[in-house]
């Protein structure tokens, strides 16, 4: 199988293909972030980097079986300014369309954030399919709702694995609790709260630690926008953290890898700040596995 991954990031799509046991002959990655490329190449030295998608000459590529990518979403996101296609980052969606139209792959997969219906309709018109909305909470310990446009058939909702935050914490981590929404950090007993978000404050008083959810007495994590200086990524793990009975702490990079269902041994030879950014901008690997497993593989290819 030949794969073209646009806006490849840290190659979460490649992890998914490997997890499924799908043979990849050539994996072409379009990415411009040097830190993302460093991480990808540390794990998959045979990745073929093709650079900036706006400069990609598709005629130089062989027959491509799968084009996938999550085009930058800042102009679409409800968390952003809702500039939509006027935002040059979101306009990169049309580069995805160009590559699909030029290469005519057997399959394509496009991911993006929750957005206004008018934007959804434009994307669906260009892709020729309606999206499926999947919350990563079904396969991981985070709430992360995304739309997926694909011509891979028979995609349904994943079965809920009931994975909670407690199950992905590092062994020496302190048991997390919910703070009283009004009570600050002095309260020792978790507030009884089910189904609705509870916002808790940062220790420094700047920005917010994420909304969290209590279910069966275990907390689920959620990515959340914050103004804390060390987490400036447009779609990153911004100041994601948990409340313990003594303090607020951020989730560790390893815990964030687990939220994205990235394997613990995945090499990330960059600073912790970059790790948070790359993971926040990446895919939940097991959601991608759930979608890609429905591909009708050619003779000679295999899937576990």
Please state, as a whole number, how many other Cβ atoms lie within 10 Å of the Cβ of residue 86: 10
Parallel, antiparallel, or unpaired for β 107-113 and 48-49?
Answer: unpaired
User: Contact, 154 vs 294, CB < 8 A?
Assistant: yes
Contact 54, 30 (CB under 8 A): no
- Is residue 209 within 8 Å of residue 239, measured between CB atoms? yes
26 bridge partner residues: 2
Q: Are 28 and 67 in contact (CB under 8 A)?
A: no
Q: Of the residues 73, 99, 256, 289, which is catalytic?
A: 73
DSSP 142-174: EE-EEEEEE--S---PPPP----GGGGS-TTPP
Closest Cα partner for 143 from 78, 214, 192, 201?
Answer: 214
Angle between helices 34-43 and 272-281 (to 10 degrees): 90
Q: Is 256 a catalytic residue?
A: no
The span from the CA of 290 to the CA of 20, in Å, is: 9
CA distance 62 to 59: 8
- Tell me which residues are annotated as active site: 73
């Amino acid at each position: 199988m030949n794969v073209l991954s646009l806006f490849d990031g840290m190659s979460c799509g490649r992890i998914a293909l490997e997890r499924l046991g799908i043979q990849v002959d050539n994996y072409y990655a379009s990415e411009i972030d040097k830190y993302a490329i460093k991480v990808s190449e540390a794990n998959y030295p045979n990745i073929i980097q093709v650079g900036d998608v706006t400069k990609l000459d598709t005629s130089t590529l062989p027959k491509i079986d799968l084009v996938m990518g999550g085009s930058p979403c800042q102009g679409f996101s409800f968390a952003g300014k809702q500039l939509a296609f006027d935002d040059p980052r979101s306009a990169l969606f049309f580069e995805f369309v160009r590559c699909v139209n030029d290469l005519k792959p057997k399959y394509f997969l496009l991911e993006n954030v929750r957005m206004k219906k008018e934007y959804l309709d434009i994307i669906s018109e260009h892709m020729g399919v309606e999206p499926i909305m999947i919350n990563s909470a079904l396969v991981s310990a985070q709430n992360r709702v995304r739309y997926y446009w694909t011509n891979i058939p028979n995609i349904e909702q994943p079965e809920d694995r009931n994975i909670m935050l407690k199950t992905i914490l590092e062994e020496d981590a302190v048991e997390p609790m919910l703070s009283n929404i009004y009570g600050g950090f002095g309260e020792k007993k978790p507030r009884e709260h089910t189904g609705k978000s509870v916002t808790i404050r940062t220790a420094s008083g700047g920005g917010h630690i994420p909304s969290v959810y209590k279910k069966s007495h275990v907390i689920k994590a959620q990515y959340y926008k914050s103004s804390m200086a060390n987490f400036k990524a447009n779609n990153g793990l911004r100041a994601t953290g948990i409340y313990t009975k003594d303090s607020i702490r951020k989730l560790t990079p390893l815990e964030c890898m687990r939220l994205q269902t990235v394997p613990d041994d995945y090499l990330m030879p960059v600073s912790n700040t970059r790790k948070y950014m790359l993971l926040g901008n990446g895919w939940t690997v097991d959601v991608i596995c759930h979608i890609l497993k429905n591909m009708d593989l050619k003779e000679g290819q295999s899937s576990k």
